[in-house]
Structure 1
Amino acid sequence: MPFLLNVVRVLNFLVYLITTLIVLRALVSWFPVSQSGKFISFLDTMTEPVVSPVRSLLYKFKFTRELPVDFSPVIAIFLLFAIRDFLNLVLLSFA
């Protein structure tokens, strides 16, 4: 079924796009850049719905609150890949 294959392609592209934006957001946070710029605002708007739930979940554990590095982008990317792989498996089983 070409429709399901197109859905899989779109899903893979969206996960790739969001992952790229999350990585860019993490890299930009390492540099002294104005956080009020349009590009930073765009990155925050696009990635916050994915990273924020992971960050709030990690915040519940004391040891993650005390870490000097925010691991929520990395875990969000792993979760995106896991969800993508699961959905690809399910969708391609019907194709």
Structure 2
Amino acid sequence: MQVFSIFGLAIVIVLQIVKYAVILRALLSFLPIQKDNQFINILYQVTEPVLVPIKTFLGRTEWGKNSMIDVSPIIAIFLIWILSSLISSIFGVPQIFSVF
């Protein structure tokens, strides 16, 4: 493996971890879990840098102001998927690491 593909692989793995953290956070939002849980705090620390810019952007749009549901996790997952595919193709990372 080349150095560039190892670097690309590391980025893709981190993106996959963040993607699964976003999915887990979205699923856990339906459960009555207290916010002072340490696991939930770590999950929020990992996902907030990804979700806050999307929420801010959606809040500026007319559709985002009037929406009753939070679609920022769906948009984040889609953007992570695109970024992961792009990095995989640039660095030559095997597709097995960039699947959903």
Same fold (TM over 0.5): yes
Give the TM-score normalised by structure 2. Answer: 0.83
Find the counterpart in structure 1 of residue 14 from structure 2: 14
Residue correspondence of structure 1 range 18-57 to structure 2 within 5 A: 18-57=18-57
Q: Which amino acid aligns with 1:86?
A: L
Quick one: distance in 1 between partners of 2:44 and 2:16?
17
Which string of whole-angstrom CA distances, capped at 9 and with x for unpartnered residues, describes residues 29-66 of structure 1?
10111011111111110110011111101111122222
Give yes or no for contact 2:9–2:88 (8 Å, CA) kept in 1: no
Find the counterpart in structure 2 of residue 68 from structure 1: 68
User: What's the % identity of the aligned pairs?
Assistant: 26
Residue correspondence of structure 1 range 72-83 to structure 2 within 5 A: 72-83=72-83
Quick one: distance in 1 between partners of 2:35 and 2:18?
20
Quick one: distance in 2 between partners of 1:90 and 1:29?
35
RMSD: 1.3
Structure 1 unmatched runs, 5+: none
Structure 2 unmatched runs, 5+: 93-100
